[in-house]
Amino acid sequence: MTERYWLILPNGGRQLIDPRQFDLAAVAEQARRLGGRLVAEAVAPPPAPRPFEPPIGAVGPMFRARMERLHACKVEYHVEINTRPTVRVLGGYYKRRRLVRVYSHDRVTGRRPLEELFETFLHEMAHHLEYTEPQSFQARACGRVPGTMHSALFWRILGELKARWAASQRA
């Protein structure tokens, strides 16, 4: 934490003092003799710059482009980045509409980090691929079991997508 020095004059006026240009002890003594004072004020450092985050409108197309590098989907899907703040729900997949929805904002912390949003997108895309093209992942049919949200096939697909993404980041 740095400090700023102010010379407080007897009439209430204030003057900022640069400690590199003045002897602070001498300025403080002179101010005291005139009826003023020298005050040190703590100054917080500027906040660390946040990493660049693309506008919400660009996130969906960016995720689609990333997905095209990971896997060429045979069945069309729609992506919606929803800004409604949520507490626990990060996203959802709607089978009939083939809609991948990702919630971009947390009710407490605000906008979620881009990496977390992409993880959620991959999760929902694994649901899409499980329903629409299980054969692409060595399965004869969808591995869904009633009452079970995530099947073994789902986890295989998600693991494969994440591994492909990690490999693309190392290259």
Domains of the chain in start order, with CATH, are: 2-43 (no CATH), 56-170 (3.30.2010.10)
Tokens of 88: 């626990």
Q: Which of 148, 149, 161 has its CA nearest to residue 120?
A: 161
Could you report the per-residue pLDDT of 17-48, keeping only the tens digit for each? 999 999 999 999 999 999 999 999 998 888 88
Could you report the per-residue pLDDT of 56-72, keeping only the tens digit for each? 999 999 999 999 999 99
> Whole-model pTM?
0.71
Residue 108 has pLDDT above 70, yes or no: yes
SS3 100: strand
d(CA 142, CA 144): 6
